Amino acid sequence: MRLGSRSLIIPVVMAGFLLPALAVPRGTWPTMAMLSLGSGVTAVSLMALAAVLGARWKAVESLFDGLDRVYETHKWLGVWTLVFASIHLVFKAGVQEWEVAPILALPGPVTRLVRQLSFVAIMLIVLLALNRKIPYRSWRWWHRLSGPLFLIVIAHWLSFKSPIVLGSPAGVWLALLSLLGVAAAFYKLLLYPLWSRHARYRLDAVSSTGNAVYLQLRPEGKAIPFQPGQFAFLSFEQDGLREPHPFTIASAGRTDGGIAFMVRALGDYTERLVREARPGLLAEVYAPFGRFLREPGDGPEIWIAGGVGVTPFISWLQDADAVGLERVTFFHFYTSGRELPEVLDLQGLAARRGVELVEIASGPGDAGFRKRFAQSVEGHGKSAPTIHFCGPAGLLRQVRQLMRETGVAEERLHRELFEFR
């Protein structure tokens, strides 16, 4: 079973309320004090796990079946951390019947300051993470402060007067999660550049059209192995482009170890990269990540790409070892004026591999698309087609609606999350 946002958050919330309840009289359970105490424990727990998910540990990625889903859950952990921290701040976590004492005694003014700073720290981390208007470079550096700010939150739960003692179930729970969160945060902050799999590449060729570029890089030394459909974090050795940014790999394995990326100017970082990319630039490539891998069966396949979501499918088309491509119908949604760079001859690639390519510039409401989709489903059984999707949320909603109308089961849909941030 793959972990996801609900399957992680719901058990953590339950533990956050059940474990502290063991430390207080049963008669005080239905009180605002218990609501506040449980919310505080839950907020710390969720924040610690958010740090763990942000470390890019391979074991964690495997549990969630892809780093894209790790980051989706990471986002929701932050949102619910702020919700429960707000509840904890509003109500007092204490009644006369409770025996309370701090685990770490601090002077009164310091304890109160740490309490206020802990909420500000949580609010700052979450709002910065969710604010898409902040330039990527600034956002990333602010977000790196989440580890040190988490130490303030830990100081708060250790120093405020509480019925939770360190040896209690709730105390052990908080201590273990806090230690794990701190280890993950500082691994990402200090050790990730040294211990993670990465290699040095040189930009060999740049092909551009409009607001998109196709970047071809060659390794300076040993290349990084990957599977078509995975993505990498790309960091160029140039001011303004040093922050690692995720891009899907737009190539299959090459004998020379080369790797390629298709980048469209959709934000401040990508706009600068499209404008300034030139042959000779050096880059660090951190890879591979993601589980958007094709597993061909005996039935038909439907590929659906929207915008820059076409990238993983380009790598699949280039995969020399791929089989069963003659059973693929590929719907490519694009905006007029935002065509692919000329070096990426999508029609030629599809024709050489026997893939039926259907290019659509008019959106998912196009009658031709709906008719051709229904035809791809008919005659194969209602749940037979495997659907691979990568594109914006609006297109995904339309595809799911069409799947319901044609009787295609939800489990036949395999998708790569389109946005991290």
CA dist 405 to 331, 367, 389, Å?
18, 14, 17
Specify the pLDDT at position 376. 84
Tell whether 421 is covered by a domain: no
Extract the tokens encoding 12: 């953590």
Per-residue burial over 181-205, b if 16 or more Cβ lie within 10 Å, else e, is bbbbbbbbbeebeeebebbebebbe
Q: Model confidence over 141-184: pLDDT tens digits?
A: 777 778 888 999 999 999 989 999 999 999 999 999 999 999 99
Question: Are 212 and 177 members of one domain?
Answer: no
Question: Are 266 and 145 members of one domain?
Answer: no
Tell whether 214 is covered by a domain: yes
- State which residues form the domain around 388: 301-416
- The band of 248, judged by pLDDT with boundaries at 50, 70 and 90, is very high
Bond prior to 364 in cis (omega within 30° of 0): no
Residue type (1 letter), 164: I
By the 8 A CB rule, do 86 and 106 touch? no
Q: Which of 2-6, 124-128, 165-169 has the lowest mean pLDDT?
A: 124-128
Q: Structural domain tally of the chain?
A: 3
- Is residue 255's pLDDT more than 90? no
- Is residue 131's pLDDT more than 80? no
Tell whether 305 is covered by a domain: yes
- Is residue 297's pLDDT more than 80? no
Question: Are 29 and 160 members of one domain?
Answer: yes
Residue 397: burial class (beta carbons within 10 Å; 0-12, 13-18, 19+): exposed
Question: Are 35 and 176 members of one domain?
Answer: yes
Tell whether 25 is covered by a domain: yes
CB atoms within 10 A of CB 90: 11
Question: Are 77 and 104 members of one domain?
Answer: yes
Tell whether 219 is covered by a domain: yes
Question: Are 239 and 337 members of one domain?
Answer: no
Domain stop point among 195, 228, 244 = 195
Question: Are 320 and 223 members of one domain?
Answer: no
- Is residue 132's pLDDT more than 80? no
Tell whether 361 is covered by a domain: yes
Degrees, nearest 5: CA angle 166-171-174: 130
Q: Model confidence over 109-119: pLDDT tens digits?
A: 988 899 888 88
What lies within 8 Å, CB to CB, of 29 at 6+ separation is 21
Q: Model confidence over 58-85: pLDDT tens digits?
A: 999 999 999 999 989 998 998 899 899 9
Instruction: Calculate mean pLDDT across residues 86-105.
Output: 92
Residue 225: what are its φ and ψ, rounded to 5°?
-75, 145
Question: Are 105 and 119 members of one domain?
Answer: yes
Specify the pLDDT at position 352. 95
